[in-house]
Structure 1
């Protein structure tokens, strides 16, 4: 997927998604997102659990076959690394802004029946929610870098929303809340499904257009109806 993501930025600097420092930073955000999700929506983690997740995120990263040079050696080093990236390395550039812009998001093929005016209204609502939830999880230096403000009222609203989600996750059936792949793995591990059951793949409705299905940049499993 990352091979073709390279070029020269607006400052004339070369960039590549396969640069080990860039590649690890992307992975670090996955790890950090796990911590934030547990903190905000799952009641938090103990220090031992954070250290365990840190160790596991290294095992996960090693599977990519990339250089381990940028990877912090300890949980403490990771925290220093994260703060350094947020305060001194990240940039407010086109890519960082564009990923937050939903204004040109096309309709999913399964939603073509939605009238255009209603779709535009939907995008506006989604945009507000995306911005609110994303900025809430930014480190303060990143908020400042990207030009966002965060008021005590916004913080209060975000905390209340997180509390509602946390309660819902404790009340609703555990399996209902799982992603289909996680649910399948959980069922295999607990004996609900045979251990050799086929892995769950995305349904055909989520596949890219036919002309792009041979492109290795896209996840495109061989599924029924695809």
Structure 2
């Protein structure tokens, strides 16, 4: 299989991936997903050596959201083009970590990043919505496997069923522990700069404290408990009660918002980014390569 050329059935309106992948509540797990990704030693080394998230985390976040939106809401052709672009970009991300050479296209590491993105909407529904039914999980996972094949994830890292994927996910996390990149990520959350240049420093100083507190709380709340313990993140009974109240409130709010509106931002971004990719001059104007 040539990455970016595999064809998967298009994700159409009303199917599981269409309903869940772009749910706005998924963004509440952004910090959790980042921690899980950089817990992998190869991903950690690549981020440490090649990512600009410490200097410009907001732009990095927007690029990531834009890229993800294409896979589900940009059509099969858009997903193929984006997959090829990402493979070419990451091909240059090589280096040495702990005396060993690494590549961002290491099959296990590349598959793990995809796995975290597969699991995030499932976790988001479990925490903040209504847990997916067995039939929804089966349909959703089959669709995400199709996206994985477009991305070039090897078949051995795409277990055929959801229960087998869950087992692979748990077994992979069991090998993770603290590392330098996770520590740097936590420091970046605590010291992140303002998202808009026109925002006053004084106003951001007030907002930043609330942002970092909330983000670290959500990370501690949603990480798998065994990894949270290995990272030395405290979690108390009062934290658990506070998170339960937050989940109830988010669940109630989500219940009154139609699905089409909950996913509207990601759908719009996905379609816009496909158009921008088809108009490269305009794309380069808005987004740095």
Q: Does 1:3 align with 2:75?
A: no
Pairing partner for 1:94 from 161, 180, 185: 180
Q: Distance in 1 between matches of 2:107 and 2:284?
A: 37
Matches within 5 A, 1:101-140: 101-108=188-195, 111-140=196-225
SS at match of 1:107: coil
Pairing partner for 1:13 from 94, 97, 100: 100
SS at match of 2:243: helix
Q: Distance in 2 between matches of 1:154 and 1:221?
A: 49
Q: Which residue is equivalent to 1:222? A: 282
Contact 2:107 2:153 in 1 (8 A): yes
Q: Distance in 2 between matches of 1:7 and 1:152?
A: 43
Cα distance change of structure 1 residues 174 and 64 upon mapping to structure 2, 3 Å threshold: closer
Report deviation, 1:179.
3.7
Contact 1:92 1:145 in 2 (8 A): yes
Report deviation, 1:49.
1.9
Q: Does 1:159 align with 2:159?
A: no
Q: Distance in 1 between matches of 2:166 and 2:146?
A: 18
Contact 2:194 2:201 in 1 (8 A): no
Pairing partner for 2:154 from 54, 67, 70: 67
Let me know the Cα RMSD of the aligned residues: 2.8
Report deviation, 1:76.
2.2
Contact 1:135 1:148 in 2 (8 A): yes
Normalized per residue, the structure richer in helix is: 2
Q: Deviations over 1:143-166 (max 9, x none)?
A: 012111211211111121111111
Contact 1:201 1:221 in 2 (8 A): no
Q: Which residue is equivalent to 2:226? A: 141
Q: Distance in 2 between matches of 1:27 and 1:164?
A: 29
Matches within 5 A, 1:25-104: 25-88=112-175, 90-100=176-186, 101-104=188-191
TM-score, structure 2 normalization: 0.59
| Number of residue pairs the alignment of both structures matches | 194
Structure 1: segments with no counterpart, 5+ residues: 186-198, 205-219
Q: Which has the higher contact order (CA 8 A, sep 6+)?
A: 2
TM-score, structure 1 normalization: 0.74
